């Protein structure tokens, strides 16, 4: 067996649960979950070849050749499924989540962890509340809303508990030089995208525009709710003039726009609204600077607002599992930083109660204290 058949044979032997789910998705006409899960585990390259992304009918026939090899291991194996809610494929959560799934699958016996593509932080905490995700990446502003049942949680309190503080997410207001947008006020009357529905970008963008005195419902010629990759495509196609995206830096969607021939990407300063946004929403936002040169052709620093990211689980997550998750992740922190540079910010020094924004899971607090972190 060669090509895709051989690839699926490897997956089937290494992780039958992922192979079965992938094959099921393929037969239902949705290969994305299966392929992304396999990539997240390291069984297929994230840069899958054209041959590995054949039309569904061809892929199904060849993948089916591996079924006899899958049946026996699947019958014997009893695995604990663990879903990790990440974000869009154009952000930082997704590659870090894929690597985390790989570490946990290899590091915790009997566990099969998968990185799930989602709209972002708000959706992630909703999934956590519904028990459909066991670990989530998320911004502190959305986490605080989740434990309060505020905003898009509409009174539904989620038992969110922080298990680790990660890195900071930078709000990036993205446009191109030919749109002549140099300030947040210049967005008035323009066509914008405020991020995917139920994303932390959408939450942060609405709060920033409110702090700037702009009305989301009436001050814009058009408002889209697009993922970062979709927003980049929309700017290229002339369908929008600017978009918001909050993430670690650099992020692939903005890099793609900045690297487009004949395009000068511009990041709009907005740190002057820090006092107003904090007065309304609490001290979860703070000013930072994205250095010049972070993106291709970026010649000036960008003065922007940021918010911390956390890794979270439910309050009722078993203490032993929380400890295992943190132990595996901490042991792999150097490799995690090679997956994306933002993971370099995952250190003992940032494990602070104030930065977490929501209560610690007791097992996480004990773990970090024993590791030498000063939480207070």
pLDDT at residue 98, as a whole number: 98
Please choose, from the candidates 313, 343, 103, 360, the residue with its C-alpha nearest in 3D space to the C-alpha of residue 369.
360
Question: How many whole angstroms separate alpha carbon 35 and alpha carbon 23?
Answer: 9
List the alpha helices (DSSP H) in 169-308.
200-211, 228-236, 252-258, 274-281
Residue matched to tokens 């010049």: 292
The pLDDT of residue 78: 67
**pLDDT at residue 198 in the model:** 84
**Token reading at 364:** 């996480």
DSSP 17-29: HHHHHHHHHHHTT
pLDDT tens over the chain, length 376 residues: 444 333 333 333 334 334 434 433 433 333 343 334 344 334 333 444 333 333 333 333 344 444 444 444 444 456 899 999 999 988 899 999 999 999 999 999 999 999 999 999 999 999 999 999 999 999 999 999 999 999 999 999 999 999 999 999 999 999 999 999 999 999 999 999 999 998 889 999 999 999 999 999 999 999 999 999 999 999 999 999 999 999 999 999 999 999 999 999 999 999 999 999 999 988 899 999 999 999 999 999 999 999 999 999 999 999 999 999 999 999 999 999 999 999 999 999 999 999 999 999 999 999 999 999 999 8
Q: What is the pLDDT of residue 70?
A: 44
pLDDT at 3: 42
Report the pLDDT value the prediction gives residue 318, as an integer from 0 to 100: 98
Largest CA distance in the chain: 63
Would you say the C-alpha torsion 298, 299, 301, 303 has a positive or negative sign? negative
What is the spatial distance between Cα 244 and Cα 227, in angstroms, rounded to a whole number?
A: 10
What integer pLDDT is reported at residue 77 of this predicted model? 54
The reported pLDDT for the residue numbered 170 is 96
Is the distance from CB of 123 to CB of 199 less than 8 angstroms? yes
pLDDT for 2 equals: 41
**155 in Cβ contact with 240 (< 8 Å):** no
Q: Which pLDDT value is given to residue 59?
A: 36
DSSP, residue by residue, 226-254: --HHHHHHHHHTTS-SEEEEEESSS-HHH
- 3-state class (DSSP) for residue 343: helix
């Amino acid at each position: 067996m060669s090509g895709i058949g051989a690839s699926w044979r490897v997956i089937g032997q290494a992780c039958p649960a992922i192979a079965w789910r992938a094959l099921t998705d393929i037969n239902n006409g949705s290969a994305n979950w299966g392929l992304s899960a396999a990539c997240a585990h390291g069984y297929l390259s994230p840069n899958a070849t054209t041959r590995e992304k054949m039309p569904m009918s061809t892929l199904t026939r060849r993948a089916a050749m591996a079924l006899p090899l899958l049946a026996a291991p699947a019958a014997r194996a009893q695995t604990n499924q663990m879903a990790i809610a990440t974000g869009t494929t154009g952000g930082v959560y997704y590659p870090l989540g894929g690597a985390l799934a790989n570490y946990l699958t290899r590091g915790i016996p009997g566990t099969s962890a998968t990185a799930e593509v989602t709209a972002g932080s708000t959706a992630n905490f909703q999934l956590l509340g519904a028990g459909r995700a066991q670990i989530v990446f998320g911004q502190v502003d959305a986490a605080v809303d989740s434990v309060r049942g505020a905003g898009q949680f509409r009174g539904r309190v989620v038992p969110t508990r922080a298990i680790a503080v990660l890195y900071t997410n930078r709000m990036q207001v993205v446009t191109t030089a030919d749109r002549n947008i140099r300030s947040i006020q210049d967005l008035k009357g323009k066509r914008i995208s405020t991020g995917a529905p139920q994303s932390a970008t959408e939450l942060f963008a609405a709060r920033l525009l409110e702090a700037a005195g702009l009305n989301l419902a009436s001050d814009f010629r058009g408002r889209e709710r697009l993922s970062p990759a979709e927003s980049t495509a929309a700017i290229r196609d002339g369908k929008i003039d600017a978009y918001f995206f909050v993430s670690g830096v650099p992020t692939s969607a903005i890099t793609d726009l900045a690297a487009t021939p004949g395009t000068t990407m511009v990041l709009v300063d907005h740190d002057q609204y820090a006092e107003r946004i904090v007065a309304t929403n609490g001290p979860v936002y703070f000013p930072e600077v994205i250095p010049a040169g972070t993106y291709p052709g970026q010649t000036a620093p960008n003065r922007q607002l940021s918010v911390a990211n956390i890794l979270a689980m439910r309050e009722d997550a078993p203490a032993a599992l929380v400890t295992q998750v943190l132990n595996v992740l901490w042991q792999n922190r150097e490799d995690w930083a090679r997956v994306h540079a933002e993971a370099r910010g995952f250190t003992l020094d940032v494990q602070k109660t104030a930065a977490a924004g929501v209560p610690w899971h007791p097992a996480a607090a004990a773990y970090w204290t024993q590791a030498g972190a000063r939480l207070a």
